[in-house]
Amino acid sequence: MITHGNEIKLFSGNSNRALAESIAKKLNTELGNIEVATFSDGEINVHIAETVRGRDLFIIQSTCSPVNDNLMELLIMIDAAKRASAGRITAVIPYFGYARQDRKARSRDPITAKLVANLITSAGADRVLTMDLHADQIQGFFDIPVDNLLGGPTLCNYFANEEKIDVVVAPDLGSVKRARKVAEKFGVPIAIIDKRRPKANVMEVMNIIGDVNGKRCLMLDDMIDTAGTICQGAQALKDAGAVEIYAGCTHAVLSGPAIERLEKSVINKLVMLDTIDLPQEKMLGKFKILSVADIFAAAIENVYLDKPMSKLYD
């Protein structure tokens, strides 16, 4: 039977060290001493510079851009901890990359989310702690426990306290369930943006289901990548008579033309969580960043103390 030592150990890769430091501060501890560097040819080199034998390890690393480098850092850190006889290893992945490739949309497509799950498990992780997976069924791709924390309540609390919302808008059909839950908390109706996606990262609005005329609208999604969906959706709401448009997301991927699109968009405010570290040069005046350090710190403490996680989902 796997047991853990009497000391918690937190380590961080290079993807989001600011969040890792905030989590450590919430837990009244410091990040462990680990060197994560590269050889001259680009290969990743990891060295854990303190003892971890029998300890309960939490390795904090989002697999965001550069996705492959950050993923390899995570895998190598897990392997190093396993070979150093760590007691339990929890991969804390605030943003889980490759999650959009969760099924075969066409023949001969890969299911990369399953491949990444296999790699993390094979590297030696005993548990995964993440937030707002793009598809809930990815939890079943792992043969180890997965805790999929919710970022929605943090966003909802912010908007409930800071803005007046008349309608919650689902930016696509896949977001209807999330939008309905939020609308019930706010006591407002929902609207749905009907769209089609002719190819990856290209979206066309077909219709808006629901009344948004003269309303203050809130669009929520799990991630914003190139921002095509959220910006075109916001413009469609504006064209339909919406007076103010707010947006929120858990994962600020913001790749390619995202910043330019958001700057020119009719969105009044975009609120995002810090699962991905947003460089200062990408910050716009309409952006607001909320921290998930409290949630992850509480989850890490529960895992370490073998306490139930259910309260974090209430």
Residues 222, 307: one domain?
Answer: no
Answer for the pair 131, 63: CB distance below 8 angstroms, yes or no.
Answer: no
pTM of the model: 0.92
Structure tokens at 20: 């890792």
Q: What is the pLDDT of residue 173?
A: 80
Q: What is the pLDDT of residue 274?
A: 97
Residues 77, 190: one domain?
Answer: no
Q: What is the pLDDT of residue 2?
A: 40
Residues 44, 87: one domain?
Answer: yes
Residues 98, 207: one domain?
Answer: no
196-228 pLDDT, tens digit each: 665 665 556 668 999 999 999 999 999 999 998
188 part of a folded domain: yes
Answer for the pair 162, 275: CB distance below 8 angstroms, yes or no.
Answer: no
Q: Which of 219, 216, 1, 197 is nearest to 105 (CA)?
A: 197
Residues 212, 233: one domain?
Answer: yes
93-116 pLDDT, tens digit each: 999 999 999 999 889 999 999 999
Catalytic (active-site) positions: 195
Residues 127, 218: one domain?
Answer: no
Q: What is the pLDDT of residue 1?
A: 34
Asked whether the CA dihedral 148, 247, 258, 287 is positive or negative, the reply is: negative
Residues 76, 142: one domain?
Answer: yes
Q: What is the pLDDT of residue 293?
A: 98
Residues 282, 158: one domain?
Answer: yes
Number of neighbours of residue 147 by Cβ within 10 angstroms: 19
70 part of a folded domain: yes
Range of the domain at 187: 152-290
Long-range contacts of 162-168 (CB under 8 A, 24+ apart): 163/216, 163/218, 163/246, 163/269, 164/216, 165/216, 165/217, 165/218, 165/246, 166/215, 166/216, 166/217, 167/191, 167/210, 167/211, 167/212, 167/215, 167/216, 167/217, 167/218, 167/242, 168/217, 168/218, 168/220
* pLDDT tens across the length of the chain (314 residues): 344 445 889 999 999 999 999 999 999 999 999 999 999 999 999 999 999 999 999 999 999 999 999 999 999 999 999 999 999 999 999 999 999 999 998 899 999 999 999 999 999 999 999 999 998 999 999 999 999 999 999 999 999 999 999 999 998 887 888 899 999 999 999 999 987 665 665 556 668 999 999 999 999 999 999 998 899 899 999 999 999 999 999 999 999 999 999 999 999 999 999 999 999 999 999 999 999 999 999 999 999 999 999 888 87
CA 205/CA 187 separation, integer angstroms? 26
Residues 42, 110: one domain?
Answer: yes
- H-type helices in the chain, by residue range? 17-26, 67-83, 112-123, 152-162, 176-186, 228-239, 258-264, 293-304
Answer for the pair 249, 275: CB distance below 8 angstroms, yes or no.
Answer: no
The widest CA-to-CA distance across the chain, in whole angstroms, is 61
Residues 205, 117: one domain?
Answer: no
Residues 106, 168: one domain?
Answer: no
CA 17/CA 61 separation, integer angstroms? 8
Q: What's the number of domains the chain is made of? A: 2
3 part of a folded domain: no
Q: Which of 211, 278, 258 is nearest to 65 (CA)?
A: 278
Residues 130, 62: one domain?
Answer: yes
Structure tokens at 44: 């990743």
2 part of a folded domain: no
